[in-house]
Structure 1
Amino acid sequence: MFISTDVIQSWLQTCLQLHGDRCGNGLRSDTRGWNGPLWLIDVEDGCLVAAFPRAKYVALSYVWGCGSISASTTNENFVKLQERGGLYDPSTVTLPRTIRDAIELVRSVGERYVWIDRFCIVQDEGPANQSQLNAMGNIYAGAYFTLVAAQGEDPTDGLYGKRPINLSSTSRPMSNTPPGDSSKEILLDQAMHLMRTKWYSRSWTFQEYLFSKRRVVFHNDTVNWECFCAAYHESQDVSTTTPLTAQFLAQIPKAPLIRDIPSTGFECSSWPDMFRYARLVSMFNRRNLSYPEDVLDAFAGLLSHLSRIYPGGFISGLPQMCFDAALLWQPWIYMCRRKSVKLSDSEAVLPSWSWAAWAGDLNSESWRSAANYLLEADDEDNPHQQCSWKTISTVKWFYSLDRTSARKEVQIRSEFARPIFGNTLAPLPSGWSAVANPNGPDRVLFHHHCDPSHPFRYPIPIRNQYLAHIPPISARFLHCTTRHALLKAGPTYQTLASSCPAIELLSEEERWVGVLRLNCIPSDFEDLIEAIRTEHGGRLELIEISAGAVENQPIEEKSFDEWNREGCPRHKGLYEFINVLWIEWVDGIAYRKALGRVEKGVWGEVAIEKLDITLG
């Protein structure tokens, strides 16, 4: 029973004829530089060729594995691989089986060019390599379609699994799907299986899948099709598919797109959506990396793509526009500190203050204050309530790439430094209008002409989406002058806001003054508490990173570990606090251990000293 290329070609034709521009045409006006691939594989001539304007190419998404760098393009073999047949010369390079299968399949469906990262990016060429990592989203979005090799554990397993491929058969394909199952049941079963593959568990494949607009997915000894408008399995007769009418296609939700980025599974609004960014980071951060220090590179395509609409772009994975609030990320369950494998600690970019340095489940609710300009979905238990949590700048931050390089100021926008809900007294920024909202908790809502249908709770900076992207910044250090203090460690308890334990912060008089969310697994919990009691003398060193305030309304419980503690001042109405980091010192550098809050009035009494801090 063969897997037939005929069915793949029929899927492509069906998509082109029925879906049209809804799934994009795979052609770009500029395929050079950061906008697309620098090099492509010519499957007919067996060599690398420079990408050219409007190149039509297929992309491959696969598990890299732990193979030698010899199975890739390096400065040593780069010239040889540009010669005709150079890629097929075993004395120059050995193609892993999955790569060979992909090249043969591309040739059999009548396409000439394929993009495969290990050969189309020169692996030991720094600047060009980084530019291509930043362009990864555009590379996959610009592909005609993407081959997803989820069948095996590494590139030696091949594309097809146990079933051979028939490159010329005109017979109907056969599959191992159970007879009698409906197409919906088959596709659901295949989707569940895909989520259990090693390919799905890898960090690098996250953005590759997200940006690809057409996917031919090999896994579970079968092949499936996914595009922006449809999904098929190989036993399905697509010739009976009902054509999608223009009226139906017009009803498919489609967000305003950034210029020159084709329609993909990852459509991007024309304004920054922190709700969505929080979900993306949370999903990505659960995935695995062979080399933890690659985390920001594996996310660089997304960051580059989003930087067109996020003013200031990203600093080590944190949006610069709302940097204070972005620093407040918290774990949902224990997050493990990423440690460099192939690079020295001084070369790796894994700063403790960024989520990127910690693998595991990030609590997306901890970024609600960064997204409070957006309307939250109505909560059944707390109707007509919106997030009141604000983060207020109190510290001027600077970042640096290393300890000796120049320090540059973090540019936090004033709208996020001191957010004001429903403020119509000040002149509105250009492009904004105010609309009365008498039936909602916010009496006034705002609209911007870039997306007139979407309401905002206050005007935010909207970046001109026609400008070039802002390359992601990989900074190792943050610098500031801030207040610090020692507070006593109190009782620990299980919080409702996450699966992590929390510890109360107490004054010298044993009065409740704040809380920290601890990042530890249950088996280490007692050891951590004992270390606090002995090594730290029962006192924790805390530094101020920003201020905050929240109203006493039930919807906020999901974000605050202290919400139901007897000493929490929220019971009096407005709860004002200082956001603090518990830090530890190593060779004069402070590192994040945990994040929490201290009552504003108490902090003003105990944190009377200022300190120059470098956070690593």
Structure 2
Amino acid sequence: MSSSDACNMEDEHRALTELHARVLGLCEALRRTTPAEKQYARVLEALLAEIGRKCSLMGTHRSYNPSLKLFLVDLENKLQSIPMHPLNTTDEKGPSEFHLSHQDMKDIMYNADRCLYGEIRTERTLSENAHSSPGAPPMLYIDTWGIQHGPWKDQIEHIRNALLVNRHLTDWIQPTELRQWIDQCDAQHADHCGPQAASKKIFPHRPKRLVDLEHMCIIPAEPHHRYVALSYVWGTGSSLQSLKHNLDLLLIGDSREAKDESTKPSLNPKNLLRHATGTANSVVSESLPPTIQHVLELVRRLGERYLWIDSLCIIQDDGNEKSEELGHMGSIYANAYVTIVAAGGNSYTGLHGIENITPPMERPNKTPLYLVAPKAASEEIKAAHGYISRSMWNRRAWTFQEQIFSRRLLVLSEARITWECHCAVWFEGLEVVQGQCKKKRQVVPGLSFSPEANMKEYSKHVTEYNRRVLTYPEDALDAFSGILGALSGIFVGGFICGLPRVFFDTTLLWYNQIPVELRKPAHPTPGTAMPPTWSWAAWSGSIGFPENDILPLADWWYRENNTTAWEPISSQRSQGGATVLNPPVVEDDWLPHLLYARVQRAVFAAMDMDSAPVIYLKGVADDGVGAITHCVPMPTSSASDLTLELVAVSESLINSALATNVLWVERNGLTTYRKGVGRVLKSAWELQEPDVIDLLLG
């Protein structure tokens, strides 16, 4: 590059810096005064003029930057279509016509600044590191692109909010708009988002009860009832629930069994649900949490009559019914007309934006960029998904299966409302795009329902679920029972404590990637049985499953809680160990979820530990022969004094070497408990001269 070119670039940079300061100063002044279209036009025309100057400079550099030629041709065509004349306050044209699209602005400024500074940066790198990278392009690019993210965000949004009155999002949810989303999906996506023949076979169950919003009571559900389901986070306070002693006060009166909906049922004069929502003068000791009250009102405004809420539609102190309904949770959400997601906080937080009922929406910008630059909708989708992923709702274990099984989600937060179905994502204020969906149909978006049991799919869902939080750890299997119930038709034999019979030997080798925590009941009660230590459900944290093939070495038998009878887990004969005709008799029927097998056992000394949950094993020649992943954190200083009792359960081929898959166990009376899992070289295992024992694993 010649010295004159370098001087030109310095002059351009100086001018660019001055313009940047003037624009920021103008925007700051506009924050303190009532903005007008003329002022707004000045800001945008200043940006457009600078873009034009940059393009001219780019043209002088074509000789040594031929890659700009195609871009410049496209850019010149775009600039010709942009009005460059001053905009008077009386002009009929609105300021939105002076906008480059979000993507155009990014493309123009990125290429211009790259030419000026010779910085070659990918869009991804630029968007992630623009504010921190030492070699980032000039500030004007960062701030112009950052209308949505950077220092101009408040200023430009303030101008837009004052000028584009018709494009504002209001402080209140617009039920007619939400209803339009539902109706549009009904009309355009029926084959994809509506119930299918295949799904009806997989999800044959419907709720036992529903909330009737017309009469404000609980009713027995009928097959023809179209209902909305609520997915939310329970709070820890005391609130109205359906219980054995108050069910009659929640149901309708003498007409509880009536099928004729045209006849208004006689209501119990002490109806708790009507009192709890403030529709009667009586006061009850427990009321509905704010979120539930607000959802009742929103669903009513959407024109829907029936609503399913777990706390009201399941008798919470009826163990048999609760267990049955939890197993049907997949069906309940899959068969719902729409699922409303209360993503912000818990049931005591309440909603925003229901006029005359709740506080207004807390919108950071009343005119989001996607309203003036439709191409920016992709950024809004990322922001919406980012909010959901960080929400309390997304961190809770119970909501995991609700999200997977629901066909259509109406996601409510304090700042935005989002519609998500198989075919579309819609936001407030955007015109709904009509047209048929070109995606492949799915029975349920979160599950493939392949004809054969799919270990990868099972592993994916368990891994995601087990990272989530449970208020009551004793619910670990209940909160996953809907997914297990949906998969049981494909996984032959069903599941034992969350492990599929068909892959039992493989899933028994689950491992933790970081130390995990043993779940303990929040409210221990007689008869409460926690999952056994050999099941992933007994531990909270990040886990995984082996992907390599295994050769079983044990015939496993299982004894359920409160029984003395054993049942074989698999009729397939193992490839090692001793033949077992009958497991031993264990008189203590209170020992829950026992496994039995006749297995080989050996004791190894620990060689070393590292910062990960790994213990390295020492062989007879003091060499490294294997490794164990331990469940709970252990001090590294204890490695030299540690001995591990290991039992062999299967074999694998690892890097062309045969390895014995082992469980690290610890004895406690008659029963042993799992402490970890790992592998030992088969040759080293045999040198240890293992003996054969009867293993009772709890």
Q: TM-score range by the shorter chain?
A: 0.7 to 0.9
Partner of 1:253: 440
Partner of 2:354: 164
Q: 1:78 to 1:403 in 2, by over 3 A?
A: closer
Distance 1:488 1:345 in 2: 39
Deviation at 1:72, TM superposition (A): 0.6
Q: 1:30 to 1:183 in 2, by over 3 A?
A: closer
Q: 1:336 to 1:12 in 2, by over 3 A?
A: same
Q: 1:196 to 1:576 in 2, by over 3 A?
A: same
2:290 counterpart letter in structure 1: R
Deviation at 1:501, TM superposition (A): 3.9
Matched, 1:368 2:547: yes
Contact residue 398 and residue 480 of structure 1 kept, 8 A: yes
Partner of 1:466: none
1:35 to 188, 202, 205: 205
How do 1:312-351 and structure 2 match up within 5 A?
312-344=493-525, 347-351=528-532
Q: 1:25 to 1:510 in 2, by over 3 A?
A: closer
1:507 to 601, 619, 632: 619
Task: Mark the runs of 5 or more structure 2 residues left unpaired by the alignment.
Answer: 1-170, 253-266, 277-283, 371-375, 576-590
Distance 1:352 1:480 in 2: 16
Partner of 1:102: 295
Partner of 2:275: 89
How do 1:146-545 and structure 2 match up within 5 A?
146-151=339-344, 153-160=345-352, 163-165=353-355, 176=365, 179-181=368-370, 182-238=376-432, 241-244=433-436, 249=437, 251-254=438-441, 257=443, 263-344=444-525, 347-363=528-544, 366-369=545-548, 390-402=549-561, 404-411=563-570, 476-493=593-610, 500-521=612-633, 524-526=634-636, 529-530=637-638, 532-534=639-641, 538-545=642-649
Deviation at 1:92, TM superposition (A): 7.5
1:233 counterpart letter in structure 2: F
2:601 counterpart letter in structure 1: H
Q: 1:17 to 1:413 in 2, by over 3 A?
A: farther
Q: 1:29 to 1:595 in 2, by over 3 A?
A: closer
Please list the CA deviations of residues 333-377 of structure 1 after superposition, one character each: whole Å capped at 9, or x if unmatched.
2212111111359623221111111111113xx3313xxxxxxxx
Contact residue 584 and residue 592 of structure 1 kept, 8 A: yes
Higher helix share: 2
Q: Counterpart of 1:207 in 2: which secondary structure?
A: helix
Partner of 2:62: none
Deviation at 1:413, TM superposition (A): 5.6
Contact residue 241 and residue 311 of structure 2 kept, 8 A: yes
Contact residue 601 and residue 693 of structure 2 kept, 8 A: yes
Partner of 1:15: 185
Distance 1:346 1:610 in 2: 33
Q: Counterpart of 2:693 in 1: which secondary structure?
A: strand
Partner of 1:615: 697
Q: 1:342 to 1:355 in 2, by over 3 A?
A: same
Contact residue 202 and residue 486 of structure 2 kept, 8 A: no
Deviation at 1:267, TM superposition (A): 4.2
Partner of 2:104: none
Q: Counterpart of 2:532 in 1: which secondary structure?
A: coil
Deviation at 1:5, TM superposition (A): 0.6
Distance 2:557 2:486 in 1: 24
Q: Counterpart of 2:646 in 1: which secondary structure?
A: strand
Q: Counterpart of 1:368 in 2: which secondary structure?
A: coil
Contact residue 514 and residue 613 of structure 2 kept, 8 A: no
Please list the CA deviations of residues 540-597 of structure 1 after superposition, one character each: whole Å capped at 9, or x if unmatched.
11111222223x3xxxxxxxxxxxxxxxxxxxxx311211111112233211111111
Q: 1:59 to 1:190 in 2, by over 3 A?
A: same
Q: 1:597 to 1:25 in 2, by over 3 A?
A: closer
Contact residue 203 and residue 486 of structure 2 kept, 8 A: no
Deviation at 1:475, TM superposition (A): 6.5
Q: Counterpart of 2:547 in 1: which secondary structure?
A: helix
Contact residue 489 and residue 505 of structure 1 kept, 8 A: yes
Q: Counterpart of 1:187 in 2: which secondary structure?
A: helix
Contact residue 213 and residue 300 of structure 2 kept, 8 A: yes
1:273 counterpart letter in structure 2: N
Partner of 1:580: 662
Contact residue 562 and residue 592 of structure 2 kept, 8 A: no
How do 1:71-86 and structure 2 match up within 5 A?
71-83=240-252, 84=267, 85-86=271-272
Deviation at 1:43, TM superposition (A): 0.8
Q: Counterpart of 1:3 in 2: which secondary structure?
A: coil
Q: 1:174 to 1:334 in 2, by over 3 A?
A: closer
Higher strand share: 1
Distance 2:493 2:202 in 1: 24
Contact residue 230 and residue 341 of structure 2 kept, 8 A: yes
Q: Counterpart of 1:165 in 2: which secondary structure?
A: coil
TM-score by length of 2: 0.65
Q: 1:211 to 1:475 in 2, by over 3 A?
A: farther
TM-score by length of 1: 0.73
Deviation at 1:492, TM superposition (A): 2.8
Contact residue 137 and residue 305 of structure 1 kept, 8 A: yes
Partner of 1:446: none
Rg larger in structure = 2
Deviation at 1:178, TM superposition (A): 5.0
Distance 1:392 1:265 in 2: 31
Deviation at 1:508, TM superposition (A): 3.3
Q: Counterpart of 1:612 in 2: which secondary structure?
A: strand
Distance 1:287 1:187 in 2: 23
Distance 2:300 2:294 in 1: 10
Q: 1:27 to 1:604 in 2, by over 3 A?
A: closer
Partner of 1:379: none
Q: Counterpart of 2:312 in 1: which secondary structure?
A: helix
Q: 1:50 to 1:203 in 2, by over 3 A?
A: same
Contact residue 206 and residue 223 of structure 2 kept, 8 A: no
Deviation at 1:174, TM superposition (A): 8.7
Distance 2:273 2:241 in 1: 10
Matched, 1:65 2:169: no
Contact residue 352 and residue 591 of structure 1 kept, 8 A: yes
CA RMSD in angstroms, aligned pairs only: 2.8
Q: Counterpart of 2:469 in 1: which secondary structure?
A: coil
Distance 1:93 1:214 in 2: 32
Identity %: 35
Deviation at 1:609, TM superposition (A): 1.9
Q: Counterpart of 1:543 in 2: which secondary structure?
A: strand
Distance 2:624 2:697 in 1: 27
Partner of 2:321: 128
Deviation at 1:412, TM superposition (A): 6.1
Deviation at 1:176, TM superposition (A): 3.9
Partner of 2:651: 547
Deviation at 1:265, TM superposition (A): 4.4
2:635 counterpart letter in structure 1: F
Number of equivalent positions: 480
